[in-house]
Amino acid sequence: MLSRVADSLYWMSRNIERAENNARVLGVQLIQMLEASSEETLARHDWETVLEICGSNTQFNELYPNMSTNHLIEYLAFSENNANSILNCIRYARENARTTRDIIPNDLFEVWNNLYLDTQEMNIREGSLRDVKTFLERVKVASLTSQGIVDSMMTRGVPYRFFNIAKWLERAEKTARILNILNDRSAADLNKADGTNYYYWRSALQLVNGYEEYLKKYPPRMNEKDVLTFMISDYAFPRSIQYCMDHIRESIISLEGGKVSHYSWRIYAALDSLIDEFDEHKIRSLKENGISAFLDDFQNRCNDISQIFSETYYLVDPAGVP
Amino acid sequence: MFKPYQSNHFFDEMLEQDGTTRNHYQGFHSIMNQFTEEELREKHETAQLSFLRQGITFTVYSDNVGTERTMPFDFIPIIMPPETWDMIEKGMKQRVEALNIFLEDIYNDGAIIRDGVIPRELIEQNPNYFKKEIGGVKIPLHNHIFLAGIDLIRDQEGTYRVLEDNLRNPSGMSYVYQNRYVMRQVYPEFFNRHSIHSLEHQLSNMHEAVLDHCPVNCEHPPRAVLLTPGMYNSAYYDHLFLAQQMGIELVEGRDLHVRDDVVYMKTIRGMQRVDIIYRRIDDDFLDPKVFRKDSALGVPGLLEAYRKGNVAILNGIGNGVADDKAMYAFVPEMIRYYLNEEPIIPNVDTYFMRNIEQRKWALENLDQLVVKNVGASGGYDMLIGPHATNEEIARFKKKIEEEPHQYIAQPTIQLSRAPSFQDGRFYPCHVDLRVFVMRGKQTHVLPGGLSRVALKEGSLVVNSSQGGGGKDTWVLKKGDEQYAQQSR
């Protein structure tokens, strides 16, 4: 496969996953906003968290005069200025699907082409949460449909592995980011009312769509080490970092036909050390004040892996838009 | 519903002069009459949407902003009886064969110039004549024309004539397939009762033809790629479709790299050798070391690899000298000179503005002539005398006087018409036909071709960039004509 095409495939997959993740985060927040509205400052903190997860507080403040709900939705879902707005993710996914059409199933292109074309004619009434939710739902369905198409139609060859590796990298990075940001918020809030911890860790689970699965395994008490263990090192939860890294590693083994060669040892080494160092035992033995540094380090290591992956397979910068 | 119209001044593909339906359209007509207007309207919308949803679009640029558009589709096909097609197929093979020998000749001995058949300056002063760059280069099969797109029209008498040769990068083949695909999806009723030539095996013929061009220094099974300027090019869908259907890699200039005069492509497993390039980039942009220095689309060093016989480039470099509107007038002479045959399909009469007498006559008759810039395409820089205002005529008069060698004039041909169905009503529109000729060790002509239709009522311009649309083109199999008649 051409490096350029591999790169487009990689970014298509990441943007599909990112669109879905950002749509979910925004969806969760639109509901929480209603529950937390009694306490204004808390609500404001929530939005700041969401901005940090899906975009940037700094950029938001440059673009908008205040944190009104309409501005927040506009920035996160539709803004052209926010590279990670859901609409931009859809556009990138579709553009990259266009340049990889000769190797992906036609149905996959059509899902994103259709969604993109529909968003061009979309009319969201100002302030209509219902319209926004309908849009977010469509994005989620498109992403899930893509995964179904990939799973049921694509030969287990190089393009298939690339698609999945990119998806898991994006997902692992997002989980790491969510944990890191919510941990910071929780730490900053420690002196406030009891129960805020509970609130933050439950949010973290909801934002990765893991709350239900968590409850099947742990008591509904939000013990932070339980949550961290679940989100980082649970081998069976498909959004845990462990799960993503395991699957990336398996995919690379298939790509390389089970061999480690001069150009691929770095990616193996990086994955192995990440998996080794962040196991359940280490998380359980963390000290209260060590969590933040641990998560920072962890997030950096996740980012490194995508860098090493790109270098291993000669991926180039995403196609420039003239 | 469909009402026959009188067609006094134009040849109509479907109707006789008196408004009755031609024999080979009768089967189609009777099925069409069974649809209600509402059904037709609904099918029409489904068809248009299907192009958009599948991303079968071309990009139109205005003020540097690209808009993706679909080519409007019209469901009434152009139907051709088998003997008509036999004649066209032969005529196309003959014409492209002569053009290919011409290219091989003028890039080597130049016999046709020496023998005075074509004026020397017409070739040597042509901006697309690259004798210095590629003269004498040995190319696989001596074949310069892997894919030709020849535009045909029919005049008032229904005689097919060649309007234009496209020997550089003719596009539109994907539309032939998509028109057929949509037609089968949305109007399956028509296919049960017609037996028409299928398009299915043609792409494997095309693939084979690509691989036939194994370069001199290639001793392994050759690897072929399709070189595209990228997704912002207006014909990107065409490139994508052909690459996908032939199972060859779709590459951009930045994917290729020349080292020691050998071409490689950059893959996730490192560099892999490329032997045959079906390029859809114009000569000018192909290699910044030789042609335009500012080209970001091309591959530095490609030409040297070509000269050394390490890579084949399809279509050949320098074909532009043979397909401009001035050389066009000499193609019948080429056929006589090289093949010793009479042209099967005639040209449209052409007057040279570089010739003083012809210019003088033409300038007095501009209101009846079509004037074309020899270097332009796509319907640009063109005057259609009978439809032009006095100001336009005056403007072209000035242009011709300033640069006479840039222009030719032709009588205004009453392009044939065919009924179309748009916006819920039937009306006659002018049509032409682009026929695709594929040449490798064998020559194949894609049955039918791309029928283009000027959907703006009365307009003569069929180019998709200027509001033209497409129709499916059916070549009936032998014996089907009678069948169509019986089913009346």
Q: Nearest CB to A110: which of B53, B244, B266?
A: B53
Q: Are residues A4 and B244, on separate chains, in Cβ contact within 8 Å? A: no
Residue indicated by tokens 């210095």: B132
- In this prediction, residue A58 carries a pLDDT of 93
Structure tokens at A230: 């679940």
- Which site among B267, B272, B274 would you substitute to test the A interface, given the most A Cβ atoms closer than 10 Å to its Cβ? B267
Structure tokens at A264: 């691929």
Q: Are residues A158 and B232, on separate chains, in Cβ contact within 8 Å? A: no
Half-sphere exposure of A14 (CA within 13 A, CB side): 18
Q: Where are the beta strands (DSSP E) in B65-210?
A: 65-69, 73-80, 147-154, 160-166
Distance CA B169, CA A177 (A): 50
* A-proximal residues of B, 61-80, CB under 8 Å: none
Whether A107 and chain B come into contact, CB under 8 Å, resolves to: no
Domain spanning B351-411, CATH class? alpha beta
Which chain B residue has the Cα nearest residue A4? B255
Query: Bridge partners of B384?
Result: B370
Structure tokens at A256: 């390389």
Nearest residue to B170 via CA among B123, B104, B105, B239: B239
**pTM across the whole model:** 0.88
Distance CA A197, CA B250 (A): 53
What single-letter DSSP state applies at residue B25? G
Residues 6+ apart with CB under 8 A from A92: A11, A12, A15, A318
Residues 6+ apart with CB under 8 A from B266: A2, A3, A4, A314, B255, B256, B257
DSSP H/E element including B472? strand B468-475
Distance CA B252, CA B183 (A): 32
DSSP string computed for B65-90 = EEEEEPPPEEEEEEEE-HHHHHHHHH
- In this prediction, residue A201 carries a pLDDT of 87
Residue indicated by tokens 């020997």: B167
Collapsing DSSP states into helix, strand and coil, what is residue A285?
coil
Structure tokens at B156: 């008032």
Distance CA B44, CA B120 (A): 52
- Which site among A3, A116, A120, A121 would you substitute to test the B interface, given the most B Cβ atoms closer than 10 Å to its Cβ? A3
Distance CA A83, CA B397 (A): 53
Collapsing DSSP states into helix, strand and coil, what is residue B232?
coil
Collapsing DSSP states into helix, strand and coil, what is residue B22?
coil
- Domain range list for chain B: 27-345+413-486, 351-411
Residues of B in contact with A1 (CB under 8 A): 267-268
Residues 6+ apart with CB under 8 A from A272: A249
Residue indicated by tokens 């169905």: B421
Residue pair B206/B439 in contact (Cβ under 8 Å)? The answer is: no
Structure tokens at B283: 């000569």
- Which site among A1, A4, A315 would you substitute to test the B interface, given the most B Cβ atoms closer than 10 Å to its Cβ? A4
Distance CA B246, CA B242 (A): 6
Residue B140 is which amino acid? P
Nearest residue to B7 via CA among B485, B431, B370: B431
Residue pair A18/A169 in contact (Cβ under 8 Å)? The answer is: no
Distance CA B311, CA B139 (A): 9
Residues of A in contact with B231 (CB under 8 A): 95, 98-99, 319
Q: Nearest CB to A2: which of B52, B53, B266?
A: B266
What single-letter DSSP state applies at residue B190? G
DSSP string computed for B195-218 = -B---TTHHHHHHHHHHT---TT-
Distance CA B202, CA B223 (A): 20
Distance CA A13, CA A315 (A): 14
Nearest residue to A9 via CA among A162, A139, A155: A162
Q: Are residues B55 and A101, on separate chains, in Cβ contact within 8 Å? A: yes
- The complex scores an ipTM of 0.81
Residue A230 is which amino acid? F
- In this prediction, residue A320 carries a pLDDT of 36
Q: Nearest CB to A110: which of B54, B240, B254?
A: B54
Query: Bridge partners of B428?
Result: B419
Distance CA A186, CA A228 (A): 13
Q: Are residues A102 and B265, on separate chains, in Cβ contact within 8 Å? A: no
DSSP string computed for B368-421 = GEEEEETT--TT-SEEEGGG--HHHHHHHHHHHHH-GGGEEEEE-----EEEEE
Whether B185 and chain A come into contact, CB under 8 Å, resolves to: no
Q: Are residues B55 and A113, on separate chains, in Cβ contact within 8 Å? A: yes
Low-confidence spans in chain A with pLDDT less than 50: 318-322
Distance CA A144, CA B247 (A): 29
DSSP string computed for B278-313 = EE-S-HHHH-TTTS-TT-SSS-TTHHHHHHTTS-EE
- In this prediction, residue A321 carries a pLDDT of 33
Distance CA B392, CA B376 (A): 18
Instruction: Give B280 to chain A, closest Cα distance, Å.
Output: 16
Whether B240 and chain A come into contact, CB under 8 Å, resolves to: yes
Structure tokens at B446: 């894609």
pLDDT tens, chain B, 488 aa long: 788 887 678 899 999 988 899 999 999 999 999 999 899 999 999 998 888 888 888 777 776 777 788 888 999 999 999 999 999 999 999 999 999 999 999 999 999 999 999 999 889 989 999 999 999 999 999 999 999 999 999 998 899 999 999 999 999 999 999 999 999 999 998 888 788 999 989 999 999 999 999 998 888 999 999 999 998 888 899 999 999 999 999 999 999 999 999 999 999 988 999 999 999 999 999 999 999 888 889 999 999 999 999 999 999 999 999 998 889 999 999 999 999 999 999 999 999 898 899 999 999 999 999 999 887 766 788 898 888 999 999 999 999 999 998 899 999 888 899 999 988 889 999 999 999 999 999 999 999 999 999 988 878 778 776 778 999 999 999 875 544 444 43
Cα distances from A19 to residues A22, A69, A108, in angstroms, run: 5, 20, 15
| Crossing angle of helices A158-188 and A291-312, rounded to 10° | 160
Residue pair B383/B400 in contact (Cβ under 8 Å)? The answer is: no
Distance CA A129, CA B311 (A): 59
Distance CA B80, CA B448 (A): 8
- In this prediction, residue B285 carries a pLDDT of 93
Distance CA B49, CA A66 (A): 41
Distance CA A163, CA A169 (A): 10
Residue indicated by tokens 């969806």: A27
Residue B230 is which amino acid? G
Distance CA B452, CA B463 (A): 7
DSSP H/E element including A250? helix A241-255
Structure confidence by residue, pLDDT tens digits, A186-217: 887 765 555 567 788 888 999 999 999 999 99
Distance CA B363, CA B398 (A): 10
Q: Are residues A1 and B252, on separate chains, in Cβ contact within 8 Å? A: no
> Across chain B, which distance is largest between two alpha carbons, in Å?
69
Which chain A residue has the Cα nearest residue B250? A102
Nearest residue to B65 via CA among B232, B294, B297, B230: B232
Instruction: Give B287 to chain A, closest Cα distance, Å.
Output: 20
Whether B267 and chain A come into contact, CB under 8 Å, resolves to: yes
DSSP string computed for A130-183 = HHHHHHHHHHHHHHHHHHHHHHHHS-SSHHHHHHHHHHHHHHHHHHHHHHHHHH
Whether B249 and chain A come into contact, CB under 8 Å, resolves to: yes
